[in-house]
């Protein structure tokens, strides 16, 4: 059975600048499959350069920001591919693209490609201890916020409010900052002045 691990994929753009994007990756010892929508920068960079670094981190602010903004994060050069390793990663894999399977029958950009990659390097900085409930909630909220354009808006907003309350109850400063970033993003994208929690005015 294949497991999907939520990661931050780094690729290089046309001018060699690093791009950071949260992506679920089908995990294996030698083969990792990245599943980018074909309208993402990650897809374009992967198909052009044939290389990437897959970072596994517990820093959920990086998940939120790499899904919803173009912010650059601290990084160091990769050893086996042209690319960068996220400084705040727990461990990482450097990969080379073996095969790209395009989505079938969809309009351009509407589907996810399977980008099958070979592990050519990697390393570990610190142990990954797993995600607590609040960190999980931030990752879920980031995914939902990144799908505002193609999922029913009310459904997303309802779910975001539930996750926000969970972070408020169980999260620390890092998770609250990430959730605040997500709330501001959603408010901007939906033209809602401010996403307000129950009881807040």
Ligand X SMILES: Cc1cc2nc3c(=O)[nH]c(=O)nc-3n(C[C@H](O)[C@H](O)[C@H](O)COP(=O)(O)O)c2cc1C
Nearest CB to ligand X, comparing residues 17 and 199: 17
Nearest CB to ligand X, comparing residues 130 and 199: 130
Nearest CB to ligand X, comparing residues 44 and 87: 44
| Sites of contact with ligand X (CB under 6 A) | 6, 19, 21-24, 35-37, 40-42, 63, 67, 112, 139, 142-143, 146
Positive or negative torsion for Cα 157, 34, 120, 129? positive
CB of 118 to ligand X, least distance (A): 19
Three-state DSSP at 95 gives strand
CB of 138 to ligand X, least distance (A): 9
CB of 199 to ligand X, least distance (A): 27
CB of 25 to ligand X, least distance (A): 7
Give CA angle at 188 (168, 106), nearest 5°.
105
CB of 72 to ligand X, least distance (A): 11
Q: Which of 71, 78, 64, 74 is nearest to 19 (CA)?
A: 71
Nearest CB to ligand X, comparing residues 57 and 85: 57
| The residue to which tokens 């996810």 are assigned | 112
Beta strand segments in the chain, E: 3-12, 18-27, 31-34, 51-56, 75-77, 84-86, 91-101, 114-124
Cα-Cα end-to-end distance for the chain? 47
Nearest CB to ligand X, comparing residues 41 and 82: 41
- Rounded to whole angstroms, the Cα distance separating 68 from 25 reads 18
Nearest CB to ligand X, comparing residues 43 and 94: 43
- Identify how many contiguous H helices and E strands the chain contains and give both numbers: 5, 8
CB of 201 to ligand X, least distance (A): 30
């Amino acid at each position: 059975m294949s497991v999907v691990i939520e990661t931050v994929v780094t690729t290089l753009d046309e001018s060699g600048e690093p791009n950071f994007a949260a992506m679920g990756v089908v995990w294996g010892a030698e083969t990792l499959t990245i599943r980018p929508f074909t309208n993402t920068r990650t897809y374009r960079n992967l198909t052009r350069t044939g290389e990437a670094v897959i970072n596994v981190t517990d820093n959920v602010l990086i998940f939120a920001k790499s899904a919803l903004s173009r912010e650059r994060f601290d990084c160091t050069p990769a050893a086996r591919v042209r690319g960068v390793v996220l400084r705040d990663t727990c461990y990482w894999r450097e990969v080379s693209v073996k095969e790209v399977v395009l989505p079938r029958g969809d309009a351009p950009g509407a589907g996810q490609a399977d980008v099958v990659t070979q592990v050519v390097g990697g390393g570990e900085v610190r142990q990954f201890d797993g995600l607590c409930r609040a960190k999980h909630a931030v990752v879920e909220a980031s995914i939902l916020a990144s799908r505002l354009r193609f999922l029913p808006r009310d459904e997303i907003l309802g779910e975001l409010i539930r996750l926000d309350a969970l972070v408020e109850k169980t999260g620390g400063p890092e998770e609250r900052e990430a959730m605040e970033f997500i709330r501001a993003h959603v408010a901007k994208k939906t033209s809602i002045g401010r996403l307000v929690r129950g009881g807040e005015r």
